[in-house]
Structure 1
Amino acid sequence: MKIGILQTGHAPDELIETAGNLDQMFRTLLDGHGFEFETYAVLDGVFPTGPEAADGWLITGSKFGVNDGHDWIAPLEDLIRAIDTKGLPLLGICFGHQIIAKALGGRVEKFEGGWIVGRVNYQHDGKELALNAWHQDQVTKRPARARVLAGNETCANGILAYGDTIWTLQPHPEFNSEFIAGLIEKRGRGVVPDARLDAASEGLDGPVDSAKIANFMADFLKKERA
């Protein structure tokens, strides 16, 4: 099964050598599930010919915001709607989560409580789900079709599903604690309040459910649909 990775951001140059770029992180996360991957760096103007170019799709995170007005954002929204119309499986993570919501009629805004960084717990099916997060924007109004699968008091729309073809989440299952630590130093200082970064650093030793989410993502992409 071919998965098209729609890359909407780059990892900091200082972290790429050890962690890989954002698309590579998802290749690593989903390794062992039999996927073939092709990356389309949409932020650099590289787009697929259409939704049929892959069997399933994944949109990465980004340092950019969905409301920033970059010239690649509107074509990406068009592609999202085309993938949706075709009924192909689509995953979105952080920026991907937000741009899918925006493209399908939702609203994304900066969280009034500021940045959410580090290990975060979400309520999912009556249980806690722990994942690393790094965001200021979030989905504040869901598209009419979207249903909430997980959230918490600072991020009500943590995981959204649209029918059985689109599944999106605000946090980052592809980010391990080392990468978050790197982001704190390379992108966080001077942007995110130090107290919030320090608190995030102190919580990085806690376990996260990335492997569980990776298995779900793989199953979601591969499952048979009518």
Structure 2
Amino acid sequence: MKIGIIECGPVPAPLRERYDSYPAMFRAQLQPLLPAATFETIAVAALGDVAARDAYLLTGSRHGVYDDLPWIAPLKDFIRAAARLQRPMVGVCFGHQIIAEALGGRVEKAAAGWRVGLEQYTTSLNGDTQSVMMPAFHQDQIVVQPPDTEVVANTAACPFAALRYTAAPILSVQFHPEFSLPYLTDLITCLSQQAAAPGLPPQPALDDKGMRWIGDFLSGR
């Protein structure tokens, strides 16, 4: 399986000397779960032929889906083309939001403001309802659920925190399973000059369930 990781935004400049890019974070954690897969980083402004890869993962971004940027509309077109071709797609944070926008949902700045830190989600991603802790870092979220989707994770403040699409093989999540605890902590420090509503305080270790859900989805399990 050839998986294209669409880099929708870079790691913030102050953190680039210490941390890998977002595609590298995903690759490092997904490769052990998908040993036969190959990964290609794709610049969001140079998407290429949607049929050239078997599956796609869309990363987070500091931008909003409503921003007036030249690559937003082509990315939505690419998502719709991938859905028509039944290419498996995973969206994370911004990726979650822009897939929803492309396929009939709507995204806005959240009334609750920034959510940063660890959040406790109610999820049925693995078939059983349970509560899990995941890293959150967002001020936008889905406010209108796209058609042909089921909610598989939520919080009181974020009712569409993870969606499984029923008309195409798509899974998207608002949280950040790729974040390590040190990266999450340093990212919060970068935001400290802005108004933020913190989530739960960082814990000694992060749960790897989110990345395992993505690995299982991409492998067809």
TM-score (norm 2): 0.92
Which stretches of structure 1, 4 residues or longer, exceed 6 Å deviation after superposition? none
User: 1:131-154: CA deviations, max 9, x gaps?
Assistant: 000000000001111110110101
Q: Distance in 2 between matches of 1:171 and 1:2?
A: 24
- State how far apart, in whole Å, the 2-side matches of 1:192 and 1:167 are: 30
CA distance in 2, matches of 1:219, 1:171: 17
Counterpart residue identity of residue 182, structure 1: D
Preserved contact between residue 132 and residue 171 of structure 1 (Cα < 8 Å):
yes
Select which of 191, 204, 220 maps to 2:194. 191
Structure 2 Cα separation of the partners of residues 177 and 208 of structure 1: 7
**Does the 8 Å contact 1:5/1:59 carry over to 2?**
yes
Match in the other structure for 2:163: 160
Task: Give the aligned partner of residue 39 of structure 2.
Answer: 37
Q: In the alignment, does 2:23 pair up with 1:23? A: yes
Letter in 2 for 1:55: D
How much does 1:17 deviate?
Answer: 2.8
Alignment of 1:33-182 (within 5 A): 33-34=34-35, 35-42=37-44, 45-48=45-48, 50-125=49-124, 126-163=129-166, 165-182=169-186
Question: Is the 2:134–2:210 contact (alpha carbons within 8 Å) kept by the matching residues of 1?
Answer: no
Matches of 1:140 and 1:109, distance apart in 2: 7
SS of the residue corresponding to residue 57 of structure 2 reads strand
The RMSD of aligned alpha carbons is 1.5
Is there any run of 5+ residues in structure 1 with no aligned partner, and where? none
**Going by fraction, where is helix more abundant, 1 or 2?**
1
> 2:61, 2:195 → 1: CA distance?
16
Between Structure 1 and Structure 2, how many residues are aligned? 214
Aligned to 1:223: 220
Contact 2:119 2:133 in 1 (8 A): yes
Shift of 1:189: 2.2
Q: Which residue identity lines up with residue 30 of structure 2 in the other structure? A: L
TM-score (norm 1): 0.90
How far the C-alpha of 1:156 sits from its partner, in A, is 0.3
Specify every segment of 5 or more residues in structure 2 that has no aligned partner in the other structure, as ranges: none
Contact persistence 1:150–1:157 (CA under 8 A): yes
Aligned partner letter, 1:179: Y
Q: Post-superposition shift, 1:53? A: 1.3
CA contact (8 A) 1:29 1:174 kept: yes
SS at match of 1:10: coil
Following TM superposition, by how much is the alpha carbon of 1:207 offset from its aligned partner in structure 2, in angstroms?
Answer: 4.0
